[in-house]
Every structure is written in C-alpha cells, then in structure tokens.
Structure 1
C-alpha cells in the first residue's frame, strides 16, 4: 500500500475520532459533580481504556483473521473461531473490568481520593458500563470489519478508529446513566447486573475451557489488559488530581476522549499494519523498519489534522470567548499529538515485533497495550502542556 493511500485511509478512519467529542460533551454534563464525587473522574479514563483494550483486541483479530482467511466476510455461517472470539471478548471484558476496579480503588484510596464506602461503586459500576457497552458495540465492530473488507479497504486501518468513536459515545452515555442511577438510589440494579454477568462468564469458561483458541485469547489477553488497567487507573488518578481545573474548563473534558481515541487510533493502525505484515511473513526486520517509518509518517499527517480540529472544537464546548483560549487549546492539542505520536508509534512497533518473536499472537497484545498507553500519554502530556504552554 502506498504512503498516499495509507494517509487517505488513516484520515478517513481517524476522522471518526472527532465524534468522540460528543462522548466528552456527555460526561462534561457531570462537571458540577467532579469535586463532590471524585470517583467519577477516577473511573471514567480506565473505563474508556477498557473500551480501547477490548475493542482493540476484537478489531485487531478480526482484521488479521479476515486478511488470512480464518474468518469469512459473512454475517451468518461463519467459522468456529469467529464465535469463540466473540465469547472470549466478553470474558476478557469482565476480567479486565474487575481487575481495573480493584486496582483503581486501591490506588485512589491510597491517594485519599476514595473512601471505604466507595468500594462497591468501584467494583460494580465499571462492570455495568463496560459489558453493556461491549454488547452494544460488538455487532457494530463486526459489521464495519466485514463491510470494509468487502469494499477493498484494509480492516487493519479502518476498523478500530471507526468504531472507537461509536464506542466512546456508547460508553459515555451508559456511564452518565450509571452515575445518575447511583445518585438516585438505583445502585442495587447495577450490582445485580454485575452478578448476572459473572454467571454468564463462568458458563462460557466451563463450556469452552478445552478450546485452544478460546484459552489462548483469554490467557494472553488477560496479561495485556491487566497492564492496561494499571495505566488506565493512573490516568483516572491524574484527572482526579486536576478536577478543579477541569471543572473550570469543561472544554478539556469534552475533547479528552477524542484525543485519547485519536492517539490510540494512530497506535492501533500502525500496530495492526505491523501484525498483518508479520502474519503474512512480509520482509525481514530491516525491511519492516523502513515500512514502519513510511507508514507512521503517513498516519501522523492525518493525526495532525484531527488534533488541530479538536483544539478548535474544545473552545466551543467551553463556551468561552474565541481568541486566546482557542489558540491555547490548539497548542495543547498539537503538543499532545506530536509528543504522544513519537512514543506511541515506537511502542506499537516494538510490542508487535517483540511478541511475534516470542511466538505469541501480537493481536492479543499490541492494541490493548498501545491504546491504554495512549490513554495515559494523552492524560500526562495534556496536563504537562498546560504547565508549559499557559
């Protein structure tokens, strides 16, 4: 694929990330509660990280399996591995969410941002949000993967960034509903859903414990998503630390999911292209490095356009006067993009090459680790930019 084609397809895919501004806009409606309920900001980033982890594994494996013929470009009568993939994704989502919840509570409790009576909220609200979101987004992901493949697009480039925006809006909407439900006394409904989800997960595990593909996806995915959960929890703690500033400038939280989604999309595109090249045995290490540099540059051209647009949109959500504030948000966006791109592109290539050389399936590692790293990088570089550029 030529550099021009990669740039064009990347721009088409990443432009969907702009829609994640609506996800941030939904959560910004809760901005008046950030100080009173710090667990909102503590949980929102790791919940979005889980969205990236699970959606990344699903889209990454679908792209590779479509390109290698292990999955049919069909909605019905697909392969056994296809249906095992969907079930393993649900199990991974539950395990990822539960692990994140425990770590996030421990971290924020230690930092003084959480109390003992918040424990049940930390354990059940993310499970409710993530599993409903994944159940809603899974058929959309499959649809985009199959249609893009049928129309000659590379699903490694198109799928994750395209569905990432949809996932963000779904997650933000359900997160908003869950927070308001807790406020209005419907917490035990959320807890009941989490218990039912546990029963479903146990049923899937007992039924398919002897399937090698199912076990491999779970075992390899758990290690990568545990790492991702840690990074997502740190992102939440950083946001909680800056909750007063965020409440003063709602434009930051409005563009925050879109920035994470775009940087994660950059990493996922580069990572997915690399894993497919590895799967089909294209070139040696030096040849893949040259292709990586070309592909990364092509993707970054598209990302710069998107981040510039996000800076402008952020000022609109803040409801502040146009001028200096617009320039500030544009500079923050571009700073986050440029510094984040350097880190995320190298990370995606190194993880893909490293896991492949160890005989592991890169699709179980690359996108989950890259997207969660992108989430943390976005958080850290955004607030670093605030100190450096203001």
Structure 2
C-alpha cells in the first residue's frame, strides 16, 4: 500500500467525523450564546465552562481509545452485551468525569476568590458541575460505545472517529446539560 493510499484511507475515514465536528461546534457555540441568563445567574460559571468541556473530551476520548485498543487486540467484541471490561471502563470514565467536573468547579472558585472576583458559592458551582457531568457522562458513555462499535463493525478505524465525534458530542451535550444543571440547582437552592 502506498503513502497516497494510506492518506486517502485516512481522509475517507476522518472526513465525515471532522465535518460532523464542525457542525456540532457551531451548534455548541449557538447553545453557549443562548446561555446568557444562566451565565449571569451564576457568577464564575463562564470561567468554569472551558475546563468542564475539556474534561469531557479528555475523559471520554480516553474511554474511546481504550475500547478501540480492546477491539483491535480482540479483548472485547463489538457487541452491545454486558462485558466486565466494557462496564469497568465505562464506570471508570463516569467516575473520572464526575471528579474532574467537581474539581473544575473547585479550582474555578479558588481562582476567582484569589483574584477578588465575584463568584457563586462553591456548593452551587460544584452542584452544577456534578449534575452536568452526570447527565453528559451518561450520554457520552453511550455515544462512545456506539461510535466505536458501529464504526469498527463498518470497517472504520475507531481511533479516527472517536476524537472528533466525542469532543463534539461532549461540547454540545456538555453545554446543553450545563443549562439544565443551572436551572435544576438554582431551582433547588
């Protein structure tokens, strides 16, 4: 196989994911631009958004990479059945995502207090981050498994799909669930 053939295969596999990523990014930006009321209601939330979104892509991208490696090595099968390795990897990703979300809220609070800026209470920021992390984590776990398994079954390299699609899905659902979390937490608090 020539370099040209390898490059053509890589573009064939990655192009649809990259196009979906661009469209999803525009949608996520639209959601963010519509969050003005939530951002005003929770001082410091805007500072927390990039950290929360970055952790979604990092944590669930790593889950996708683990699943892709497991598929390539034959350790897991692309079947939607209960498998201890799959369940453990998903549980670890969920736990890491929740810990990272609450940590992002904590460090946002500490940084803004140290800078003398107005910030919501630590409890409010942490609760919003936790709820958004839980909801988006559930969606991302399912999305990663579906993207990796379906892509693998159709002959695509899941490593080429998981990066762009997981970060995009994480951005879109991360922001949407952030709005939901703000409304839930402020309604409860």
- Please report the TM-score for the alignment, with normalisation by the length of structure 2: 0.87
1:171 Cα deviation from its structure 2 partner: 1.2
Q: Aligned residue for 1:140?
A: 143
* Equivalent in 101, 106, 119 of residue 102 of structure 1: 106
8 Å Cα contact 1:55-1:160 kept in structure 2: no
| Distance in 2 between residues matched to 1:120 and 1:166, nearest whole Å | 27
Gaps of 5+ in 2: none
| Distance in 1 between residues matched to 2:127 and 2:40, nearest whole Å | 21
Alignment of 1:13-162 (within 5 A): 13-18=17-22, 19-31=24-36, 34=39, 37-78=42-83, 80-115=84-119, 118-162=121-165
8 Å Cα contact 1:47-1:126 kept in structure 2: yes
CA RMSD of aligned residues (A): 2.0
Aligned length: 184
8 Å Cα contact 1:105-1:114 kept in structure 2: no
Q: Aligned residue for 1:11?
A: 15
Computing the radius of gyration over CA atoms, which structure comes out larger, 1 or 2?
Answer: 1
Spell out, residue by residue over 1:191-231, the C-alpha distance to the aligned partner (whole angstroms, 9 max, x if none): xxxxxxxxxxxxxxxxxxxxxxxxxxxxxxxxxxxxxxxxx
Detail structure 1 runs of 4+ shifted over 6 Å in the superposition: none
| Distance in 1 between residues matched to 2:122 and 2:37, nearest whole Å | 22
| Distance in 1 between residues matched to 2:71 and 2:38, nearest whole Å | 45
Gaps of 5+ in 1: 189-390
1:28 Cα deviation from its structure 2 partner: 0.7
Spell out, residue by residue over 1:289-312, the C-alpha distance to the aligned partner (whole angstroms, 9 max, x if none): xxxxxxxxxxxxxxxxxxxxxxxx
Task: Pick closer, same or farther for the CA change 1:129–1:36 going to 2, 3 Å.
Answer: closer
1:176 Cα deviation from its structure 2 partner: 1.4
* Equivalent in 156, 168, 173 of residue 171 of structure 2: 168
Indicate the structure whose relative CO is greater, using CA pairs within 8 Å and at least 6 residues apart.
2
1:77 Cα deviation from its structure 2 partner: 4.6
Spell out, residue by residue over 1:296-337, the C-alpha distance to the aligned partner (whole angstroms, 9 max, x if none): xxxxxxxxxxxxxxxxxxxxxxxxxxxxxxxxxxxxxxxxxx
1:34 Cα deviation from its structure 2 partner: 4.7
Task: Pick closer, same or farther for the CA change 1:114–1:71 going to 2, 3 Å.
Answer: farther
8 Å Cα contact 2:57-2:166 kept in structure 1: no
